[in-house]
Structure 1
């Protein structure tokens, strides 16, 4: 297996990415290699500087960078020699089996949709996030920002994707799926959630347990939380903000320590034809290492192939 990494993505590039790759290389199986995308001279220099061996990695020369300020749709065709563009070229050709980046999320979405394409039958690919629950496990929430506006059938597909991700990657048998709403009753909510509930209530495609409220998000009441990307992003940023506030006030708690983004590294774009992993822009070396390890887990699970089979 070959996992590609955008060396120039994120706020602390290239140091955090190179250091994270060195750490991940020590933990990944011997039959798995990391392919580094970036200016080859810079990559080699950083590898030596940070105690790595350039011979342990494959380096693909990609001298350009898609920055956070670049327009995602225009950046991919305008910067064909960028790390993200080159990464998707090799992913599309099958030369690497996964591609991970902490860079421009919009460009990663555009590259995923237009270079490796959505799985036939998928209306809109989506992004998930991991929410620690008080029971000691994790719940998944999707979408968290890729699709601010959704229709009921899109939420239905999110439920299928999230359920498969929870089962195949996290090993949760028959994951419980909940629809995020302002009340538990099926008549509550806006037109979107009311219509989505009607689609989900009698399904056999996943284990739908009904509506859940915001107070249920961290309780572990369900394994998969489904919502539109606007709502999901607000939930995610609120959780991140609460964790940051506690850190600033010097408050430590075993449960809230699990909100640290370093623990999770990255999350896949679900519903595209290959394994694309997005990490947080502020990722340090530990987060990058965990992003690469999760890329391995997602690829090894053959999640993408199983999604294709389920949808088709």
Structure 2
């Protein structure tokens, strides 16, 4: 397999090098064919590299800069003024062919703006989509997009998201003909606004996609479909609500297990199974939201991701770059648009 290089915004997120660098070292141990460009302040990065094995350190290059995009910076301001920031320089490594993909835990809006300007969109894609993997009852991954990059979407944009989500499911999880659904207020054909209705008609008449119809919010985690499409307003609220419910359930479960002598004994016996359930409910277990529609791989990590979660984001970017996801999306879109126009 060909060696791959990823550029990491080592300063991005709530924790910066304290999390990103140890996670980078672990990712290199997991992926022997991976090399990393750590973009950020060399003085802050270097101490975390001291204990690394020589063969791992040899696959790391530091791209020095002291400028950082703050989490509260406005995207337009960051795009104009933060030209030497760790985020921008990481994206430029990809643009200049020095890296095959980029990972950042920094400001989502700034990352989106910089990536769109520096890397450009794929032909046939109007807007990038933010997509993430969610757990399902049957253990299969479910991809939800858009998660907030595009608050309002017309029917054509929703259609593009469906194509990109389908290709992502195929590329990352090797699912043949993934089932794609539109998130709606009901499963009846008459339900939904005009754009959702028109997107459904486009998908119905696109045999290259395995369109499964409408799906309601209570079926998101059922595993009945592989890709769920919606606009960013609905998607972001759905994701944040799900994370809040997961935290509530974990809290309630822990509170219940702390009460009573017999319950504590039972908890010890069930601890391995309970921990597995808690891990499934933890959003960090599925950390890493891809920016689909760009000409190169860009993955956004949670801003407060811990080391384990950040490794997940690096591994996702590695998988997408290895399987040439942007090229796959480009080819599929071209093929579908050719069929539609013929």
Contiguous gaps of at least 5 residues in structure 2: 255-273, 335-342
1:275 corresponds to which residue? 297
> Within 5 A, what are the aligned runs for 1:79-94?
79-94=82-97
Contiguous gaps of at least 5 residues in structure 1: none
State the structure with more CA Rg.
2
CA distance in 1, matches of 2:53, 2:10: 14
TM-score by length of 1: 0.95
1:294 corresponds to which residue? 316
**CA-atom RMSD in angstroms:** 1.5
Select the residue among 134, 157, 160 that pairs with 1:157.
160
Query: Is 1:310 equivalent to 2:312 in the alignment?
Result: no
Q: Do the aligned partners of residues 103 and 217 (structure 1) sit closer, same or farther apart at CA in structure 2, a change above 3 Å counting?
A: same
CA distance in 2, matches of 1:51, 1:249: 40
Q: Do the aligned partners of residues 292 and 135 (structure 1) sit closer, same or farther apart at CA in structure 2, a change above 3 Å counting?
A: same
CA distance in 2, matches of 1:264, 1:198: 32
Select the residue among 130, 135, 141 that pairs with 1:132.
135
CA distance in 1, matches of 2:176, 2:186: 27
CA deviations on 1:41-74 (whole Å, 9 max, x unpaired) are 21112322x6566544100002100011111122
Query: Is 1:210 equivalent to 2:213 in the alignment?
Result: yes
SS in 1 for 2:148: coil
CA distance in 2, matches of 1:189, 1:264: 29
CA distance in 1, matches of 2:153, 2:214: 17
Whichever structure has more helix as a proportion of its residues is 2
Q: Is the 8 A contact 2:7 2:91 kept in 1?
A: no
SS in 2 for 1:273: coil
TM-score by length of 2: 0.87
SS in 2 for 1:169: helix
Q: What stretches of structure 1 move > 6 A for 4+ residues in a row? A: none
Select the residue among 116, 123, 131 that pairs with 1:113.
116
Q: Is the 8 A contact 1:22 1:52 kept in 2?
A: no
Q: Is the 8 A contact 1:99 1:275 kept in 2?
A: yes
CA deviations on 1:254-292 (whole Å, 9 max, x unpaired) are 445313233223121100000101011110111111111
> Within 5 A, what are the aligned runs for 1:30-179?
31-48=33-50, 54-179=57-182
Select the residue among 174, 186, 189 that pairs with 1:186.
189
CA distance in 2, matches of 1:20, 1:201: 43
